[in-house]
Amino acid sequence: MVVAGLNTDIIVGSIRYHIQTEDWGSNKSCIVTQVFSGGQSIRQIKVMYEQLFNKNNSPQLNEIEQALEVQHNKVIQFIETRKIE
């Protein structure tokens, strides 16, 4: 089971960023956010399922979707407050 990803383009100052967050599925058990600028990946944030969900149960689809959205929005906030450059 893989959840559809999120993509957002933002401009901070004069820099355009593309933020892409994906669920890499139960085989890799992680949610990954990549930040692109100028056509190159400048950051990658990988959070393993075990950091997000109860280790005794497989996460439900809605839990993965929510975690993906939270991670995506946190990265956008970091960029907007210039904590990621």
**Domain count within the chain:** 1
Task: Give the predicted TM-score (pTM) of the model.
Answer: 0.88
β-sheet bridge partners, residue 12: 15
Backbone angles phi, psi at 3, to 5 degrees: -90, 145
Residue 13 lies in a domain: yes
pLDDT in tens, 31-54: 999 999 999 999 999 999 999 998
- Which has the closest alpha carbon to 35: 13, 64, 8, 12? 8
Q: What local confidence, expressed as pLDDT, does residue 58 receive? A: 83
What's residue 57's pLDDT? 77
pLDDT of 23 > 70? The answer is yes
> Residue 70 is encoded by which pair of tokens?
């939270």
pLDDT tens sequence across 53-78: 987 778 888 999 999 999 999 999 99
- Tell me the β-bridge partners of 43: 35
1 within domain boundaries: no
Q: Which of 14, 70, 22 is nearest to 44 (CA)?
A: 22
Domain ranges, residue 36: 6-80
Confirm whether 58 is domain-assigned.
yes
User: Is residue 85 pLDDT above 60, yes or no?
Assistant: no
Task: Determine, yes or no, domain membership for 85.
Answer: no
